[in-house]
Amino acid sequence: MSSGQSIESILKKMMEMVGNSKEEIFEIGEESRNEHVTLKKELQEIQQNVIQLIEKSERTELHSRFARNRLSEVSKHFANYNDMEVREAYEQANDYQIKLALIQQEENQLRERRNNLERRLMKLGETMERADHLINQINVVINYLTGDLQHVSEIVADAQEMQKFGLKIIHAQEEERKKLSREIHDGPAQAMANVMLRAELVEKVLDTQGIEKAHIEIRDLRRIVKDSLAEVRRIIYDLRPMSLDDLGLVPTLAKYIKTAEDHTGIKITFTNVGKERRFPANMEVAIFRFVQEAIQNAYKHADPETIKVKLELGAERVTALIKDDGKGFDVLSKKEGSFGLVGMKERINMLEGQLSIDSKPGKGTLIMVQIPINSIEETD
C-alpha cells in the first residue's frame, strides 16, 4: 500500500470517528435544548403561581386580621356573647391562621423550585453552548479532511495550496466568530426581560413580607444578573473582542491580559514599546489571536507562575513576544498536531511573518512572531 493510500485510509477512518462524535454531541445538544424549553415553560408557570399565591396570601392575611379582631372583641366582652358565637369566632380565627400558614408553606416550596429551575436552566444553557462550540470545532476538522482524498498527497506536497486552504478555514472561522459575537451580544438582552418578572416579585414581597425578605430576593436577583452578564461578556470576548474594531490592538490586548490574569491567577505583565497606532484589521486580529493562543497554551500545559507579553511597534515590523516560566518542552520532539498551533502558523504565514518557538524542559518557553508592516499595508 502506497503512502497516499495509507493517508487516505487513515483519513477515512478519522472521518467516520469524527462524524459519529459529531452526531453524539448533536444529540446531547438537542436533548439539552428540548429540556431547556420544557423547564422554561415550567418556570414561567411557577412564576405566575407565585404571583397568584402572593395575592391570595394578601387576601387571607386581611381576613385573618379581621377574624383576630373579632376574636379579641369577643374575648374582651365575653359576657355579651353566647357559647356558639365564641366558638365560631375562635374557629374562624384559627382557620384563617392555618390557611395563611399553608399558603406561605406552598409559596416557599414554589420559590425553592423556581430557584432550582433557574440554576438548571443556566447549566443547560452552558451545555448547549459547549455542544455548539464542539460541533463548530468538529466542522473545522471535517473541512480539513473532506477534500479530495484521492489527491491528498498532492495537496500535502503543494505547500502553497495547503496555505490557501488553511487561510480559507481561518477566514471562515473569523467570520463565524463575528456573527456569533453579534448574536450573543444581542440575544441575552432579550433574555433579561425575564428578570423584570422577578423584579415584580420583589415588589410584592416588599409589600407583603417586609424588607428583610425583599433584600434576600434582591441579592439573589442581583447575583443571577451579575453572573449571567459576566459569562456573556467572557464568551463575547473569547469569540471576538469588539474593542478590537473600536479601540485597536494595544488597548484590547491590555484589557484581555488583565481579564486573563484575573481568570487564571497567573501574574501576566504587558509591555508596549513604540508609537501606538492602528493597523489593518487582519493584522490586528492575527496578533491578538496569537497572543491569546499563546497565553491559553501556557495556562493549560505549562503551569507557569508568570507570563510576560511584549509588543514592539517598529517602523518596519511588529514584534510580539510571549515568555513564560513554566515546564517548557523539547521543541524537536514536540508533536505539532494541535489546531491551535496550526491556526497560529497559518495566520502568521498569511501576513508573510515569521514564527519562532524557543523552549527546553524546565526552562520555560519563549514564542516570538514578527510581521512586516509594509507587506501588510500592501496586501490589506
Question: Measured between alpha carbons, how far is 365 from 338 in angstroms, rounded to an integer?
Answer: 17
CATH superfamily for domain 244-379: Histidine kinase-like ATPase, C-terminal domain (3.30.565.10)
Q: How far is CA 73 from CA 62, 93, 99, 124, in A?
A: 17, 12, 22, 57
| Gyration radius from the chain CA atoms | 31
Q: What is the pLDDT of residue 338?
A: 47
- On whether the CB atoms of residues 103 and 64 are closer than 8 A, the answer is no
Question: Measured between alpha carbons, how far is 142 from 159 in angstroms, rounded to an integer?
Answer: 20
Q: How far is CA 318 from CA 171, 211, 350, in A?
A: 21, 58, 15
Grid coordinates given for 365: 518557553
Q: What is the pLDDT of residue 271?
A: 93
pTM tops 0.85, yes or no = no
Name the residue with cell 491578538: 288
Q: How far is CA 4 from CA 15, 152, 158, in A?
A: 16, 7, 14
Burial (CB count <10 Å: 0-12, 13-18, 19+), residue 125: middle
Residues 6+ apart with CB under 8 A from 241: 252, 255, 256, 288
Which pLDDT tens digits describe the chain residue by residue (380 residues)? Answer: 544 456 666 666 766 777 777 777 778 878 878 888 888 888 888 888 888 888 888 888 888 888 888 878 877 777 787 878 778 888 888 888 888 888 888 888 888 888 888 888 888 888 878 877 777 777 766 666 655 444 555 555 455 555 555 566 666 567 666 656 665 555 565 556 556 666 777 777 777 777 877 777 777 777 767 766 766 666 665 556 666 777 888 988 998 899 889 888 999 999 999 888 888 888 888 888 889 888 988 998 889 999 999 999 988 889 999 999 999 888 776 554 444 566 667 677 778 888 888 888 888 999 999 999 865 444 44
Q: Find the distance separating the first CA and the last CA of the chain, reported in whole Å.
A: 45
- On whether the CB atoms of residues 325 and 362 are closer than 8 A, the answer is no
Domain boundaries along the sequence of the chain: 3-239, 244-379
Q: What is the pLDDT of residue 318?
A: 92
Residues 6+ apart with CB under 8 A from 166: 342, 343, 346, 349
Sequence length of the chain is 380
Q: Letter for the amino acid at 170?
A: I
